[in-house]
Copies of this chain bind each other. A is one copy, B any other.
Amino acid sequence: MADELLALGQQILAAQPFSVLLGAELVSFTQGQVAMALPLKPEFGQQFGFAHGGVISFMADNALTFAGGSALGPDVLTAEYKINYVKPGRGERLIARSSVVTASSRQAICRCDIFAVREGVEYLCATALGTIAKRAGRNAENE
Contact = CB atoms under 8 A, between A and B. Distances in A.
A88 B78 CA distance: 10
Contacts of A129: 82, 84, 111, 127-129
A44 B77 CA distance: 16
Give the secondary structure class of A's interface: mixed
Contact of A80 (B44, B84, B104): B84
A53 interface: yes
A115 to B, nearest CB: 11
A33 interface: no
Which 10 pairs from chain A and chain B are nearest by CB?
A54-B58, A18-B52, A57-B57, A82-B82, A15-B47, A53-B61, A80-B84, A129-B129, A17-B43, A17-B45
